[in-house]
Amino acid sequence: MSARFKRTVLLPLFCLLSGAIATLALAADEVNIYSARKEDLIKPLLDDFSKQTGITVNLVTDKEETLLQRLQSEGANTPADLMLTTDAGRLAAAKKAGVLQALKSETLAAKIPAAYRDPEGYWYGLSVRARPIIYAKDRVQPADLSTYDALADAKWKGKVCVRSSDSIYNQSLVAGMISHHGEAKTEAWVKGLVANFARPPKGGDRDQIKAVAAGECDVALANTYYLGGMSNSSDDAEKQAAAKVAVFWPDAKTTGVHVNVSGAGITAHARNRDHAIKLLEFMAGDAAQRWYAETNNEYPVNPAIPPSATLKAWGEFKADTLNVAKLGELNAAAVQLMDRAGWK
């Protein structure tokens, strides 16, 4: 076979194969997520997205620290397109580690208030979590409660339950206090709060609620979606415990109730960036936001979507307007302060 013939035949063949490979690549419509949220709290949304778009969603779930370390070690070779996690502090840590990329989206900007997203677009909140005071109905009157600060008063000595300082939710609460009141005043508050603990911190938020119901303490700090889950649980013991407590919204006359977000950001080396953006916008959409409210007992980040009946039953509240990105910025200061104050 002559060299000319080889070039004549092989060149069209090469072009044909290249086109076929490109077609296969485009046909592999997928998006890969690293999620710190449990599968049952996110998978139904992802399945709906796949049904509507034809884009396959591959989900990997693990603890926040593990996923962040994995993204860092994988670098440019990571398969992850989207990182989904449970707290603004975690999102800020991912941004600081350089594993996220900035994104500007008119859709996300329209649906997600500025206070619930990174000012530079590295991550966006997808659901809002409030952390109010949970109190025993039979031992505490709402008139006895007022602010987070007041939980450090001597009258609450031996009556406060809260999880450990390792909890990112408590770290973010303290970070918010630092932002509003400064370190000195916040440290004095934390010392007073620690002095009022009914027991050494242990367990999760559900355990604090159960402790109040059981009479081990009179008040606790907990995210409301845990109480919502207990109120709607198939476990009679959890439902009974939830029925013995109520929600008090602190700081109504000042800064408002501490709130946080679950949220997500596009990874720095996303290979399916367009699909990841489409998924992020889908999760900020009306249907997904209703699902967050009805199924997860979280407040929709989109203010146009009403809360569920369970959430409405607790009444309206004034939410802190502090940009939640500040919670991540002040995380290190909060952790150091809690350590100094003896919050184990």
Query: Residues 191-214: pLDDT tens digits?
Result: 999 999 999 999 999 999 999 999
Residue 327 CB-half CA count within 13 A: 28
Collapsing DSSP to helix, strand or coil, 335 comes out as helix
The pair of three-digit structure tokens given for residue 25, joined into one six-digit string: 């690549």
pLDDT digits (tens, 9 = 90+) for 72-126: 999 999 999 999 998 999 999 999 999 999 999 999 999 999 999 999 999 999 9
The whole-angstrom separation of Cα 326 and Cα 329 is: 5
Give residue 12's pLDDT band: very low, low, confident or very high (50, 70, 90).
very low
How many residues would you count in the chain? 344
Beta bridge partners of 300: 127
256 and 321 in contact (C-beta within 8 Å)?
yes
Judged against a pLDDT cut of 90, whether residue 261 lies above it is answered with yes
Judged against a pLDDT cut of 60, whether residue 49 lies above it is answered with yes
pLDDT for res 86: 87
Q: Is 148 annotated as a binding residue?
A: no
Average pLDDT value for the chain: 91
Judged against a pLDDT cut of 80, whether residue 281 lies above it is answered with yes
Q: Is 225 annotated as a binding residue?
A: yes
Task: Output the CA torsion sign for 255, 259, 260, 261.
Answer: negative
Give residue 28's pLDDT band: very low, low, confident or very high (50, 70, 90).
low
The alpha carbons of the chain give a radius of gyration, in whole angstroms, of 24
Mean pLDDT for 276-283 is: 96
pLDDT for res 27: 38
Helices (H), the chain: 3-27, 43-53, 64-74, 88-96, 106-111, 168-181, 183-195, 205-214, 224-231, 236-243, 273-283, 286-296, 309-312, 325-329, 331-340
319 and 256 in contact (C-beta within 8 Å)?
yes
Mean pLDDT for 11-23 is: 38
pLDDT digits (tens, 9 = 90+) for 139-182: 999 999 999 999 999 999 999 999 999 999 999 999 999 999 99
Domain 30-129+259-307 class in CATH: alpha beta
Write the CA distances from 72 to 62, 94, 95, 99, 330, integer angstroms.
15, 9, 11, 7, 22
pTM (predicted TM-score)? 0.87
The pair of three-digit structure tokens given for residue 265, joined into one six-digit string: 């950001």
Judged against a pLDDT cut of 90, whether residue 247 lies above it is answered with yes
pLDDT digits (tens, 9 = 90+) for 55-70: 999 999 999 999 999 9
* CATH architecture classification, 130-258+320-340: 3-Layer(aba) Sandwich (3.40)
- Concatenate the DSSP letters of all residues of 223-292 into one string: -HHHHHHHHT-S-HHHHHHHHTEEEE---TTTT-B-EEEEEEEEBTT-SSHHHHHHHHHHHTSHHHHHHH
The whole-angstrom separation of Cα 196 and Cα 157 is: 4
Q: Where in the chain is the domain with CATH 3.40.190.10?
A: 30-129+259-307, 130-258+320-340
